[in-house]
Amino acid sequence: MLDKIGIAKRIAQEVRDGMYINLGIGIPTLVANYIPKALNVVLQSENGLLGIGPFPTEENVDADLINAGKQTITMMPGSSLFSSAESFGMIRGGHVDLTILGAMEVSEAGDIANWKVPGKMVKGMGGAMDLVASAKNIIVAMQHCSKDGASKLLKQCTLPITGLKCVKKIVTDLAVLDVIPEGGFKLLERAPGVSVDEIRKATEGKLIVSGEIPEIKF
């Protein structure tokens, strides 16, 4: 099984040189720590920055520089700042290469639910609906099952939908899977020590297994 850092490290392997990337809140934010230093990538913050840098030192904290999670940040050399309309223009226009976000549920068609749980306080969708509707490549970081053991990789989402047919790849604590265009989760890799059978039991939606499934390598 992978912990949160393991999931982040595995997703970091999907990053390619020259990418513009939007990272969601939670595990996706951790991915930034594991992108190989040799790759030149630019991180987008949807409140209006291309070029997110590391968290500031105490003396460099600036209330005018925050990320979409409202954390204080710094800017990399060569950054650019813009309005929220410009920011979502570049998202909607398909200029961001990779979007990494969390999910509560994903369906075998690639539908994602990650903004609202009936009966709980509704906090709002923020930029999630805009991101999933327009991103060219979406990788989801999530737990394979809920705390009570119910699968979160489903035939159909049960929670309110954030976007339809948009998820391309999923990295969970148990596995790496592609959502294929004709529907279904294609198993690509197993987390260390996890069997195909365990993944099958934890996946309610259609699981496609062909040939030997390798373990994730770091």
- Name the DSSP class of 80: E
Amino acid at 118: P
Size of interface with other proteins, in residues (CB under 8 A): 50
User: Distance between CA 159 and CA 119 in Å, rounded?
Assistant: 11
- Name the DSSP class of 39: S
User: Distance between CA 65 and CA 47 in Å, rounded?
Assistant: 10
Find the shortest distance in angstroms from Cβ 161 to other proteins: 5
Which of 56, 188, 196, 206 forms a contact with other proteins (CB under 8 A)? Answer: 56
**Is residue 163 a contact residue for other proteins (CB under 8 A)?**
yes
**Is residue 35 a contact residue for other proteins (CB under 8 A)?**
no
Q: Which residues are known to be catalytic?
A: 46
Q: In the window 173-212, what residues touch other proteins (CB under 8 A)?
A: none
User: Distance between CA 97 and CA 137 in Å, rounded?
Assistant: 6
Amino acid at 132: V
Instruction: For the sheet with 105-107, list strands across it.
Output: 112-113, 105-107, 153-154
**Is residue 44 a contact residue for other proteins (CB under 8 A)?**
no
**Is residue 76 a contact residue for other proteins (CB under 8 A)?**
no
Find the shortest distance in angstroms from Cβ 160 to other proteins: 6
Residue numbers at the binding site for other proteins (CB under 8 A): 45-49, 54-58, 61-67, 69-73, 81-85, 87-89, 91-92, 111, 121-130, 133-134, 160-164
